């Protein structure tokens, strides 16, 4: 984030996907709550994972990669004391940044209908609590508002500015679906800001250069890998069921390529040098 260009962080639902993101050359990984909930529970992103489940997921992911991990910290999982603990748990997990949102409990994915907001003043206080808990540590605090689908553009912009005034490192207006909404946020909100590009929305047609030119500093692609992977799995299994063989199905990694992805060489070397 110290540079001037856009940081692109594809979403990873699990640690193996995080390794693939890193191996593809991206500078950061986004631990998406949407994907984490799907991979751990096979359920929608409606606030079902607990603080300890999410921070354990983050800890496993940071161990798997050497690039920074940006983590979804939902609403902080409770009141000020919960937020304080949440920040310290993510710090101990080794993540580079977290975002905290202003939804009322139970929360849900920002692309879903039925989002309910806490008061803007409560959102400010909670972010200030997180910033104080972070102290001098290097982890970035991202203030996310879900006001766009729940209360409209004017309220979303107002909350983004309030959260900037509270001292967050970046602001994140979630729930953007159209190019017009994205351009409005880009014009109305100064300073470092985050955009989330969800496959299937018109915003997915914009390039990373487009987003950089609009003034965004961090672009999250939370579902690109997840939707591609689950579609490929479904296709491979449909082919296996229909033909009785995986031969001729969708492209696959070889055993050797997959072994490289999970870092088997390190463990073979350790066993060669120190095993019985």
Residue 9, CA distances (Å) to 139, 223, 250 in order = 16, 11, 26
Q: Which of 109, 147, 156, 194 is flagged as catalytic?
A: 109
- Length of the chain equals 276
Residue 109 annotated to the active site: yes
Dihedral pair phi/psi, residue 131, rounded to 5°: -65, -40
- The alpha-helical segments, DSSP class H, found in 65-197 are 80-93, 120-134, 147-151, 153-166, 179-188
**78: left (phi > 0), else alpha (psi -120 to 50), else beta?**
left
Q: Nearest 10 degrees: CA dihedral of 94, 98, 104, 108?
A: -90
Q: Structure tokens of 270?
A: 């350790």
Chain centroid to CA 252: how far?
A: 26
> Do residues 26 and 12 make contact, with C-beta atoms less than 8 angstroms apart?
no
Catalytic residue IDs: 109
């Amino acid at each position: 984030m110290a540079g001037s260009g856009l940081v692109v962080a594809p979403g990873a639902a699990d640690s193996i996907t995080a390794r693939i993101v890193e191996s593809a050359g991206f500078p950061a990984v986004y631990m998406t709550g949407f994907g984490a909930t799907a991979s751990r529970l096979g359920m929608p992103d409606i606030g079902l994972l607990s603080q300890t489940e999410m921070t354990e997921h983050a800890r496993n992911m940071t161990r798997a990669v050497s690039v920074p991990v940006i983590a979804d910290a939902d609403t902080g999982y409770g009141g000020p004391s919960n937020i304080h603990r949440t920040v310290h748990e993510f710090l101990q997990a080794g993540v580079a940044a977290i975002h905290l949102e202003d939804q009322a409990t139970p929360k849900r994915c920002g692309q879903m209908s039925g989002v309910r907001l806490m008061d803007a003043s409560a959102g400010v206080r909670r972010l200030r609590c997180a910033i104080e808990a972070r102290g001098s540590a290097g982890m970035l605090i991202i203030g996310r508002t879900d006001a766009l689908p729940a209360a409209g553009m004017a309220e979303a912009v107002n909350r983004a500015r309030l959260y900037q005034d509270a001292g967050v490192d970046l602001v994140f207006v979630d729930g953007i679906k159209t190019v017009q909404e994205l351009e409005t946020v880009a014009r109305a909100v100064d300073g470092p800001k985050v955009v989330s590009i969800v496959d299937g929305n018109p915003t997915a047609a914009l390039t990373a250069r487009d987003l950089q030119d609009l003034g965004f500093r961090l672009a999250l692609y939370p579902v690109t890998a997840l939707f591609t992977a689950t579609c490929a799995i479904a296709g491979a299994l449909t082919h296996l069921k229909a033909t009785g063989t995986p031969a001729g199905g969708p492209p696959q990694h070889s055993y050797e390529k997959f072994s490289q992805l999970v870092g088997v060489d390190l463990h073979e070397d350790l066993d060669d040098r120190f095993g019985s």
